[in-house]
Amino acid sequence: MEISTALIKELREKTGVGIMDCKQALQECDGDVEKAIELLRKKGIATAKKRGGRTTSEGQIQSYIHAGGKIGVLVEVNCETDFTGKTEDFTSFVKDIAMQVAATNPLAIDREGIPAHILEKEKEIYATQARESGKPEKVIDRIVEGKLKKFYSEACLLEQPFIKNPDITVQDLLNELIAKTGENIIIRRFVRYQLGEADEG
């Protein structure tokens, strides 16, 4: 039977499960929402964690221009379905991420994205600072680790405190959206331009 978008939306709102799963469940239950909810529960499709390997080829690119045209950001965030990619929650998330990048200028999305040479340079600086302040050799590694943690929380977008609510990180914000949509969502890439900034190369 043909399942209406309104029914799919209703089931999605009640379960937080992805659009394709909702459609399939409704088809199997002849459009009965309550039965579809029960079926989804039985199948156990209500957790965000299993979604990590799913293909994300939909989504949005948003821009954010700040400081009277002096800073500009482009961000691409991907999700599994066109439906989620067009929702207000998703749009608002992508815009927030663009604003976050403009405000905080992260080096990378996560730790894996930070170039090795930058990491080595940071470690070297922290170790030198610790030695020069007279710290014993045996605690230097621990000091470097502690400072690296702070470095990551500034340099990695996902580890930064969210500018609109510093009590949570950008990763927390992303997890909330994954749980709400029931889809795998990833921040794919970003670019940030600052007027008069020298090209790196």
Confidence of residue 10 (pLDDT cuts 50, 70, 90): confident
- Rounded average pLDDT over 159-173: 95
Sequence-distant contacts of 65-70: CB under 8 A, at least 24 apart:
66/99, 66/102, 66/103, 69/195, 70/194, 70/195
- Rounded average pLDDT over 157-180: 93
Domain ranges of the chain: 5-46, 53-111+156-194, 115-154
Q: Helix, strand or coil for residue 15?
A: helix
CATH placement of domain 115-154: 1.10.286.20
Phi first, then psi, for residue 166 (nearest 5°) are -60, -10
- Count CB atoms within 10 A of the CB of residue 79: 27
CA distances in angstroms from 167 to 46, 94, 173, listed in the order given: 26, 19, 11
CATH placement of domain 5-46: 1.10.8.10
| pLDDT tens, residue by residue, 11-63 | 877 776 678 888 888 999 999 988 888 887 766 544 444 555 567 789 999 99
Closest CA to 3 of 19, 26, 28: 26
| pLDDT tens, residue by residue, 112-152 | 999 999 999 999 999 999 899 888 888 988 999 999 999 99
| Tokens coding 19 | 């659009």
Contact 54, 65 (CB under 8 A): no
Q: How far is CA 28 from the centre of its chain?
A: 33
d(CA 177, CA 185): 8
Q: So what's the pLDDT on residue 49?
A: 45
Tell me which H or E stretch contains 77: strand 71-79
| pLDDT tens, residue by residue, 172-183 | 999 999 888 888
Q: So what's the pLDDT on residue 48?
A: 44
Tokens 């927390």: give the residue. Answer: 172
Q: So what's the pLDDT on residue 47?
A: 47
d(CA 182, CA 197): 40
CATH placement of domain 53-111+156-194: 3.30.479.20
Q: So what's the pLDDT on residue 68?
A: 85
